Amino acid sequence: MDLAYLRAHPQHLPTFLTHQRIRETPVGGGDVCAASRLTLDDGTSLFTKTWPSGPAPEHFFATEAAGLRWLREAGTVPVPEVMVALPELLALEWIDAGPASPQAAERFGRDLAGMHRTGADAFGADWQGFLGPLAQDNTPSVGPWGPWFAERRLRPYLRISADAGALSAADVAVVERVIARIEGYGGQEPPARIHGDLWPGNVLWAADGRAWLVDPAAHGGHRETDLAQLALFSGVPHLETILAAYRESWPLADGWRERVPLHQLHLLLLHTAAFGGAYRSAVRAAADAALDG
């Protein structure tokens, strides 16, 4: 199997893998999926993701493929090409890793602003959503952003976290206060074309001197959400360089730094919902900071 054959017959990839007719090397793929590097007969490498045990949730890989293609259409930040999207696996263009340089960070900031400016028809998306291993409600809404963010992004994961005992009653009450104040958090911007899960691990610093986007939960959202997520978990390399280049290309509304905890709350609640109480203190700190901002 070579790349030309694969493009013409993507449905045959699982058969070739089952019969060991493609060299497969496991690689690190994150907390949710198993990942491998495939080497085709023509020397082309692919990055593949599969569900680690049993069938993947319905539409899981189709959702990621749709998001990758949508972000790639913007023609700004580089995004791997989708080669194969099947219910049981996703195969993408292979990207060689490289250093996180200041030059790459500056370009990434400008390109991210360009991607966000491309916009979206509504908040949400036309495809079913996933954030990590959990479903995410992408039902489109023309806005305003605040109530949509509260009901589609914060409250569902808050409910799951509370039901699982990952958050205390006091924690839940603080997040509910944030939700009650949601319309005061600067939500007047139109829908931006956002990655949606832009923690530092989903920025791939490549050998070509650029920063690539991977593993999206892409949808129309608030552009500050992507920027806030870049600061999570010790932050992406050269964060301030990225932010400065972004703001030079597309200035942010006053008070954006004070809103960072609010936008981080979405992804942190996903962590308590999916992975438990180890992230409780991070959720509480973000909610408290959002109320104080």
> In whole angstroms, how far apart are CA 281 and each of 111, 261, 270, 287?
33, 13, 13, 10
Q: Give the total residue count for the chain.
A: 293
User: Sorting pLDDT into bands at 50, 70 and 90, what band is 22?
Assistant: confident
CA distance 118 to 243: 18
- Average per-residue pLDDT in the chain? 94
The 3-state DSSP class for residue 9 equals: coil
Whether residues 208 and 133 fall in one domain = yes
- Quickly list DSSP for 64-107: HHHHHHHHHHT-SS--PPEEEEETTEEEEE---B----HHHHHH
Handedness of CA 205, 210, 215, 220 (dihedral sign): positive
Structure confidence by residue, pLDDT tens digits, 29-60: 667 899 999 999 899 999 999 998 878 899 99
Whether pLDDT at 187 is above 80: no
Domain limit, last residue, from 69, 93, 117: 93
> Where is the domain boundary, 70, 93, 116?
93
pLDDT in tens, 251-280: 999 999 999 999 999 999 999 999 999 999
What pLDDT score does 29 carry?
A: 61
Q: SS3 sequence, 108-148?
A: HHHHHHHHHHHCCCCEECCCCEEECCEEECCCCECCCHHHH
State the pLDDT at residue 52: 86
Domain count, the chain: 2
pLDDT of residue 30: 64
Q: What is the pLDDT, as a whole number, of residue 113?
A: 98
Q: Among 20-34, 134-148, 232-246, 252-266, name the one with the lowest average pLDDT.
A: 20-34
* CATH number for 266: 3.90.1200.10
Spatial contact of 225 and 192, defined as CB atoms under 8 Å apart:
no
Residue 18 confidence (pLDDT)? 80
Q: Is the pLDDT of residue 154 over 70?
A: yes
Task: Give the mean model confidence (pLDDT) for residues 164-186.
Answer: 96
Q: Do 52 and 174 reside in the same domain of the chain?
A: no
The residue out of 93, 126, 158 marking a domain boundary is 93
